[in-house]
Amino acid sequence: MNVSRETQEKLELYHGLLKKWNPRINLVSPTTLSDAWERHFLDSLQVFSLAPSKLEFWADFGSGGGFPGAVVAIALNDKSPSAKVTLVESDQRKATFLRTVSRETKVPMTIVSERVEHIETLKSDVISARALAPLDALLEMTALHLREGGTALFPKGENWREEVATAEKRWHFSWHGHKSVTNPNAVVLEIGELSRA
């Protein structure tokens, strides 16, 4: 992914923090740490690359170690410094890590350490979530927090078609599956026009 030198430097700083914190807090699977650039950073940047060109507010649910949310915040800060990013992570230790990433990279991110269902409506332009829940459950959360005309971006593994079929029983939505650049069997689902069936 093409990013500026400044963004690259911030991502490298973030990578260093990830390696330092991961043995104490399970932010990502230890087996993926040696390949973190592709498995986590590039995977997150591809989500960012699918976002609308104009946006004011991005929310990431179940942010964990910050993928894709913190990576998005760093990349977005370079392209649209006025845009706001909120990361929702109920695990207090992971939320502390995310605040450290924000402080050390000097990239503003709002970290909300509560469950998505318990926070005030966000009215986001874009919502992302990675490995948080099946699509049906993600759409329940998204319906609460996505503004009208907004977009949801969800990386999904090889069972994504089944997840779409299950979700379509309870929801109306438009969708497009963008082939993943990091996993040939995965996609990033771009979802819009969400309403209850």
Would the pLDDT of 174 be above 80? yes
> What is the domain extent for residue 43?
5-196
Would the pLDDT of 92 be above 90? yes
Residue 14, pLDDT score = 98
Confidence category of residue 1, pLDDT binned at 50, 70, 90: low
Residue 2, pLDDT score = 81
Number of structural domains, the chain? 1
- Helix ranges, the chain (H): 5-21, 36, 43-49, 69-79, 92-105, 135-145, 160-167
pLDDT digits (tens, 9 = 90+) for 31-70: 998 999 999 999 999 999 999 989 999 999 999 999 999 9
Residue 46, pLDDT score = 97
Mean pLDDT to the nearest integer, 169-184: 96
Would the pLDDT of 180 be above 80? yes
Residue 109, pLDDT score = 98
Which of 55, 68, 72 is closest to 125 using CA atoms? 55
pLDDT digits (tens, 9 = 90+) for 119-149: 999 999 999 999 999 999 999 999 999 999 9
- Specify the CATH number for the domain of residue 98: 3.40.50.150
Would the pLDDT of 178 be above 80? yes
What pTM does this model have? Answer: 0.96
End-to-end Cα, the chain, rounded Å: 37
Q: Which two tokens stand for residue 82?
A: 């006025």
pLDDT digits (tens, 9 = 90+) for 7-24: 999 999 999 999 999 999
What is the residue type of 102? S
